[in-house]
Amino acid sequence: MFRVIPAIDLQGGRAVQLAQGDFERSTVFGDDPPAVARRWEAAGAELVHVVDLDGAREGGPRQLSLVGQIVRAIGVPVQLGGGLRSADDVEAAFAEGVAQVVLGTAALEDAALLDASVERFGERIAVGIDARDGRVAIRGWRDLSDRDALGFARALATRGVRTIVYTDIVRDGMLGGPNVAATGRMVAAVPEVEVIASGGVSRPDDLLALAGTGARGAIVGTAIYTGAVDLAKAIELCSAC
């Protein structure tokens, strides 16, 4: 089954979307993130992806209380990423009721934390691979590492990670279409891992193209906020993928 997953990116307590991960190019789409989450649940979402952008930028969770409000506002699971870089951060996120935590920078830089988290929480730990030109970006996408995205994904698979959220930064928030070829390469590199694509979805056909790669879902942000993609119709369209 291919899931269409709405995104709620939090910045300063509001639901926003960034262009290519640039914190200076954000568009506000809601002052009440829990209400936004209820809207997406009503449209049929079975999972909501939440990112603490302030946490990603500052290196530690900054909006966990708001995340907890989102969790309590809806009846579907919440997946959370952004600034979770210690065992205490991971535990605090789960304490707020999130179903799955997405590690990014920490997964690349702290193998001990990743291993301990996977050992303790199993499939509730996902890893976000945010890539620019095939290389992994970290610290809220501000720094570009030397690590190859596909090689990193293969290493994660050997460490027991079973969900990867793969984002093409250049495409993110631009409504120019996803990087279908790169997503296909990621899926092929780690067939034992559930790959969720993110970045660039601009129309329903993009979702069908991503489903065709073998990805298990796609996170959609700007397109559903602007109305370029109707979430309920997209979920129905992809229900048989």
Catalytic (active-site) positions: 9, 130
Burial class (CB in 10 A: 0-12, 13-18, 19+), 205: exposed
The CA distance from 237 to 38, in Å, is 21
Burial class (CB in 10 A: 0-12, 13-18, 19+), 227: exposed
Query: From the CB of residue 123, how many other CB atoms can be counted at a distance below 10 Å?
Result: 12
* Angle in degrees, CA 162, 52, 3, rounded to 5: 45
Burial class (CB in 10 A: 0-12, 13-18, 19+), 162: middle
The CA distance from 91 to 108, in Å, is 19
**Is the separation of the CB atoms in 189 and 153 below 8 Å?**
yes
Using the structure block, give the residue that is written with the tokens 């990087």: 179
